[in-house]
Amino acid sequence: MKTRAIARCLLSIVAALLLCGCSQSAHDSSGRMGTLNVRLTDAPLPLSNVKSVMVTLTGVIVYPRETVESMPLPTEPPPITLLHFPATFDLLTLTGGATALLASGEVPVGDYSRIRLQISSAMLIYMDGTSADLKCEPNKVDVPIQFHVSAGTGNTLVLDFDAGASVKVNETGMGDLILRPVVTPVPVH
């Protein structure tokens, strides 16, 4: 039961990061650039015996929306990687409106359709100091989110990685803990 709450919390954080954004014109081919900040948060998690839910991400990738030009088929611009190295986050520190910067970088001005988070490892740390590794299934999560990056402004998205919904106990009776990421975008006001 507690593992399910952790999983929900992890997924809420990632999802919140991805929901933020709005859609306008198609990808700008003029070469103009805008800054994109992707932040991470987590909904409150009722886990009395869990101190931390540590998740290590190795990639944050944004995908431009396909453009329809005078060509017979739509073209999809290449994805842009914002995070190139491992970064570890304690999801339980990201509740109550707290966020952490997940990745930031310059991206072409235009419309985007999704964000992919690549996860290398996850672990629960209990109040007594013991820990349990979480098996990541899968090791990536695609968050569908339509957003537009404008030139000369800071564009921020917040993803809710719901720890409580993401952590599961293996149903085969082995007792293994599994991370099945549940991430949703959070609307920015």
User: Percent of the chain, pLDDT > 90?
Assistant: 41
Q: Which of 25-39, 94-108, 170-184 has the highest mean pLDDT?
A: 94-108
Report the C-alpha gap between 37 and 35 in whole angstroms.
7
DSSP-derived secondary structure letter, 91:
G
Its pTM stands at 0.72
Q: What is the mean pLDDT of residues 73-83?
A: 81
Nearest Cα residue to 63 out of 153, 149, 187, 130: 149
